[in-house]
Amino acid sequence: MADVVQLNPGSVPLAVWRQVSEGSGFKLDPGCRPGVEAAQQTVADIVARGETVYGINTGFGRLANTSIPGDQLALLQRNLVLSHATGTGAPLAESTVRLILALKAASLAQGYSGVAWATVEALLRLAEADVLPVIPAKGSVGASGDLAPLAHMAAALIGVGEVTHKGEVIDAAAGLKRAGLEPLVLGPKEGLALLNGTQVSTALALEGLFAADDAFAAATVAGALCVDAVKGSDAPFDARIQAVRGQPGQQQMAAVYRDLMVGSQIRQSHLDCTRVQDPYSLRCQPQVMGACLDNLRYAGQVLVTEANAVSDNPLVFAEDGAVLSGGNFHAEPVAMAADIIAVALAEVGALSERRIALLMDPAMSGLPAFLVADGGLNSGFMIAQVTAAALASENKSLAHPASVDSLPTSANQEDHVSMATFAARRLGEMADNVAGIVAVELLAAAQGIEFHAPMVTSPKLAEAHAVIRGEVAFYDKDRYWARDLAAAKTLVRDGVFRRFVGAVLG
């Protein structure tokens, strides 16, 4: 890890969470330790007085009315972790697990969970030592928190289950030794504090948001290139059109398109052409991409709030000794934000695919059929467009809102759940699909631009074109397509095009 960022619990900016997601190390503001210790002392005082308080000395869920003797409280917390580690499916990516550890540590460090400072430090140490719990991706309904996946995280802390270390899967107990840790003996409430919370859903949703930002930026550049490639008009991007509607994202995106296209020789060559209007996939880009931008920003606001939240239960308020049961573990905000991101991703991909289809059709584009010379002998971009169509269609199904679903759990005690974990997890697949679609459009639009030589596009789009050509050569005749697609897709996923529109995305 090349750099280390400081997490100030409760006020970590979205940009810092992105740095953690991309591999930065992290540490906590040391000033948060007294609050953590005060909450732990509050829990210890409750146990000493023999009070019965949910999560400290009771059962859980439907068994919350069962009191547990003091000499069995450590066993209670251990049993909770072991019994809840019921995840299944492929393990989450190591980058996701690292982000989960950061989110959980920052939440516990706010001092409302009643855990020991050593427990918080153990989470930090796992990440620092690159000893990462193996967390199965499936098994959470997003309330009461991400119980199953977080139980796998917590199990590693007590030396149970598996972890990865430098890419190797090893026993959790061995992993703790490599991290310089002993297995934790969980105190009252600690197991519940580790299991309760929305950190898995939030981590997955944040990663989906960041991938959506990268795809959005690339699609914006591809759309501008496409307008020039088919000799479309920039008149629909006029600021006056956007101003009378007033939608902020639309106005900002129109300004981005104007900035990207200014100075194009290709545009100057057809200012007096007889074409009256372009298809919607060209001229309505500010409206569609602007709406996507507004919604991605809103989802980002929800997610950064959740990333800085305390979402376990019950909560400990050391200032007056209160321990209050509520429902902060219910991940409905994350589920709805993830659904919003999913819809935006589906629309970005759908619009890009329509522009690819436009580029293929000589009657619409004025370019060679399928963007290749000697059509018939060469198929050119024909099946690349089919791939884009398949990915766009797949995203339509994946975009169905997950948050409208609910199945009761825990013998109807938990009778409404958010499905946030799936809502967030499917964003990775959707963003990957969009990256594939936009990769095809970038290659197709770059190809179309070159058919207008010696005329050139705008300076900024020429720079973007050079980025593409730095990885993929002009398609002069049929060759193995998959390699070109993979190279262009890597550019999208790596966020290379963010610098062309970064001021808008933030």
Q: Which residues are catalytic?
A: 54
Amino acid at 44: A
Cα gap 194→208, rounded to integer Å = 24
Contact predicate 308/11, CB 8 Å? yes
Is 409 strand, coil or helix?
strand
Query: Distance from first CA to last CA of the chain, Å, rounded?
Result: 24
3-state secondary structure 87-105: CEEEECCHHHHHHHHHHHH
3-state secondary structure 55-95: CCCECCHHHCCCECCHHHHHHHHHHHHHHHCCCEEEECCHH
Cα gap 55→165, rounded to integer Å = 32
Contact predicate 155/133, CB 8 Å? yes
Contact predicate 446/400, CB 8 Å? no
DSSP string of 311-380, one letter each residue:
--SSEEETTTTEEE---TT--HHHHHHHHHHHHHHHHHHHHHHHHHHHHH-HHHHSS-GGG-SSBTTB-T
From the list 495, 337, 344, the residue with the least C-alpha distance to 424 is 337
Is 165 strand, coil or helix?
strand
- What is the number of alpha carbons within 13 Å of residue 169 lying toward its C-beta? 8
Cα gap 137→155, rounded to integer Å = 15
Contact predicate 106/9, CB 8 Å? yes
Cα gap 158→136, rounded to integer Å = 18
Is 171 strand, coil or helix?
strand
DSSP string of 208-240, one letter each residue:
HHHHHHHHHHHHHHHHHHHHHHTT--SGGG-HH
